[in-house]
């Protein structure tokens, strides 16, 4: 094997291992941070405190609103009814500019990979509207 390629492969594996290790550490830190954040929020709520300065940093209470569909208890996660109700409410309130026809690229990609795996052709209707790209990447697997 070409010594330059061999060195590149060794470096690539080392980098992949390092990234995997750091991602595991970050995942642990995020988990710890979430647990501590819950305690901080409880403490702020109990004491009425909205911010604390410590060691040159300020930890503060941040409020943010998020809106979504209102799913009723008798509706399963796959039900389209909440979306239909939300669209009707948006239209009735004159908020048509918030309504967009859309599709999920991840789901479409999974559909295309399934067709490819089953050696099926793309629907003719995709021509000129849906782009499919083959993307190659190097990966590391312990052997």
pLDDT on residue 143: 81
> What is the predicted pLDDT for the residue at 75?
87
Structure tokens at 91: 């239209």
pLDDT at 49: 94
- Domain ranges, ordered by start, for the chain: 3-60
- Determine the pLDDT at residue 101: 86
Per residue of the chain (143 residues), what is the pLDDT tens digit? 788 899 999 999 999 999 999 999 999 999 999 999 999 999 999 999 999 999 999 999 999 999 999 988 888 888 888 999 999 999 999 999 999 988 899 999 999 999 999 999 999 999 999 999 999 888 888 88
| The pLDDT of residue 76 | 87
Q: What is the largest CA-CA distance in the chain?
A: 69
Round the CA-based radius of gyration of the chain to a whole number and report it. 25
DSSP the chain: --HHHHHHHHHHHHHHHHHHHHHHHHHHHHHHHHHHHHHHHHHHHHHT--EEEETTEEEE------------TT--TT-SHHHHHHHHHHHHTT-GGG------HHHHHHHHHHHHHTTPPPPGGGTTT--------------
What does the pLDDT read at residue 58?
A: 96
Tokens of residue 85, six digits? 């109700």
- How confident is the model at residue 72, as a pLDDT? 87
CB 67 within 8 A of CB 83: no
Q: What is the pLDDT of residue 79?
A: 87
């Amino acid at each position: 094997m070409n010594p330059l390629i061999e060195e590149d492969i060794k470096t690539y594996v080392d980098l992949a291992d390092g990234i995997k290790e750091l991602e595991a550490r970050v995942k642990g830190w995020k988990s710890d941070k979430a647990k501590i954040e819950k305690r901080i929020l409880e403490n702020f709520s109990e004491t009425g405190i909205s911010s604390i300065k410590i060691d040159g940093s300020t930890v503060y209470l941040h409020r943010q609103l998020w809106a979504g569909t209102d799913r009723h208890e008798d509706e399963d996660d796959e039900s389209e009814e909440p979306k239909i109700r939300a669209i009707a409410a948006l239209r009735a309130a004159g908020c048509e500019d918030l309504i967009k026809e859309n599709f999920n690229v991840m789901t479409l990609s999974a559909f295309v990979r399934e067709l490819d795996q089953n050696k099926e052709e793309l629907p003719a209707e995709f021509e000129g509207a849906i782009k499919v790209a083959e993307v190659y990447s190097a990966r590391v697997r312990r052997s």
